Structures are given as structure tokens and as C-alpha cells.
Amino acid sequence: MSRKRPDDLLPIGLVAARSGLATSAIRYYEAEGLISSSRSASGQRRFARHTLRRLAFIRTARRVGLSLADVSESLRSLPPERAPTKAEWAKVSTAWRRRLDDRIDDLERLRDDLTGCIGCGCLSLTACRLSNPEDAAGANGTGPRFLLGDDPDTLSRSMR
């Protein structure tokens, strides 16, 4: 294993500038175990260059709505001491594909339903995907059940 040269390690300010993240976010991700650093002789954090790739991965995953728990799980499957290989990234990508496809479906449904809702001005509550008289959909679970994909027509008459 080759030794790292001092210039291969980046101070937190440079990592922040290069990643577009605040230093507080970088420290938080380190505290959560998503990234790691070493310390200089004076005690300052130093990050390996490949940390920039991990931070880009974290930032992108968060931007598309994946949880830090999901990100952490994926990063645990990657080597912490070096940049992942193409095959290692592909494995993570494959694992996320279904989750991202489901997220895209949810966002498209939300977009389409909200367009109709905003356009109706709530004059047509019988067709509104946000309408849930007497919390009839509450038996199906938490959250906006119809926007999450539950069919209002499947509610039994007794629930209405």
C-alpha cells in the first residue's frame, strides 16, 4: 500500500469549497460515519481526495430525496480507504434503481394530481385527491393516502 503524500490530504475548508457543502455538514457526515478524516500534527482535519466523490454521492442522494440511513447503508458497502471501482459503484446503482423508479412514480403522480387540484379551486371535492372526508383513508395508513397511490374508490361504503 502506498503512503499518502501530505498534499493528497485536503483541509476541511478546501473540501467544503470543492464539494459545495458547509464545513458543518462535512463534520456532521463525519460524525455519522459517512466519511472519515485523519488529523494533522496540529490537530486539524485532513480528508483524502476520494472523500470528494463520497460527498458528491451523499449530496446527490439527498437531493433526490434518499434518507441518510439509505446513504449510510450504501456507503458501508463501499471501501472507505479508497475511491470505489466502477463495478462497486454499479452495484450501488443497481440497488438504488428500484427505489429511484418508485420515487419518480410518486413524483409524477404528485405532479399530475396537484395540477388538477390547483386548477379545480376545490370546487369539486368529490374528485379531489386531497379530499379525505371524515379521515376515511386513515385506516389505510399515515400520510396523504390518495396522493401516495391509494385508490379512493376502494374504500368500503362503511368507511365513507
CATH number at residue 74: 1.10.1660.10
3 band by pLDDT with thresholds 50, 70 and 90: low
**What is the model's pLDDT at position 16?**
96
CB atoms within 10 A of CB 52: 17
- d(CA 39, CA 33) in angstroms, rounded, equals 16
- 78 or 119, greater pLDDT: 78
Of 31, 49, 84, the one marking the end of a domain is 84
First to last CA, the chain: 68
Q: What pLDDT is recorded for position 4? A: 52
Same domain, 51 and 110: no
Mean pLDDT of 103-117: 77
**Dist CA 4 CA 7 (whole Å):** 8
Contacts of 71 (CB under 8 A, 6+ apart): 34, 57, 58, 61, 62
Name all contacts of 24-29 with Cβ < 8 Å and 24+ positions apart: 26/55, 29/55, 29/58
Q: Domain of residue 122: give its range.
A: 100-160
User: Highest-confidence range of 1-5, 101-105, 134-138, by mean pLDDT?
Assistant: 101-105
In a domain, 93, yes or no: no
Mean pLDDT over each residue of the chain, to the nearest integer: 80
Are 104 and 76 found together in one domain?
Answer: no
Per-residue pLDDT of 5-49, as tens digits, reads: 555 899 999 999 999 999 999 999 999 999 999 999 999 999 999
pLDDT at residue 121 is higher than 90: no
What's this model's pTM, rounded to 2 decimal places?
Answer: 0.64
Res 96 pLDDT > 50:
yes
